[in-house]
Amino acid sequence: MPIYEYAAVAQGCAYCTAHFDLRQKLDEAELTACPQCGAPVQRVLSAAGVAIGNAHVLKESNVEKKGFTQYRRAGNGVYEKTAGKGPKFISGD
């Protein structure tokens, strides 16, 4: 579900004057009034969170620091550890 940002159109309470976020289904109607004070509100266009390139991928140097173990396929159902704790090799045998 997307998160929409709303702001007061006229004088409102501290909640809607400072903008608030609301998670709504795509087919839900847009809010017209603040849920706390009833002041008129409108949806605000905000920047989308987008991962560019490999910025979202966890790098090997940080894998162990974050508490994960990473394995790379060595071939024939064998995987070798590249970072983290755990056995050096995993095989399907």
Number of domains in the chain: 2
pTM of the model: 0.50
Domain limits at 83? 60-91
**Strand 20-23 relative to strand 3-8: parallel, antiparallel, unpaired?**
antiparallel
Residue 12 lies in a domain: yes
| β partners of residue 41 | 8
Token code pair at residue 63:
């894998």
Q: Which residue in this structure is represented by tokens 């508490």?
A: 67
pLDDT at 33 (0 to 100): 92
pLDDT in tens, 24-67: 898 989 999 999 999 999 998 877 777 677 665 667 777 888 88
Residue 2 has pLDDT above 90, yes or no: no
At 73, is the secondary structure helix, strand, or coil?
strand
Mean pLDDT, the chain, whole residue set: 85
* Residues 6 or more apart in contact with residue 19 via CB below 8 angstroms: 5, 6, 7, 44
Residue 87 lies in a domain: yes
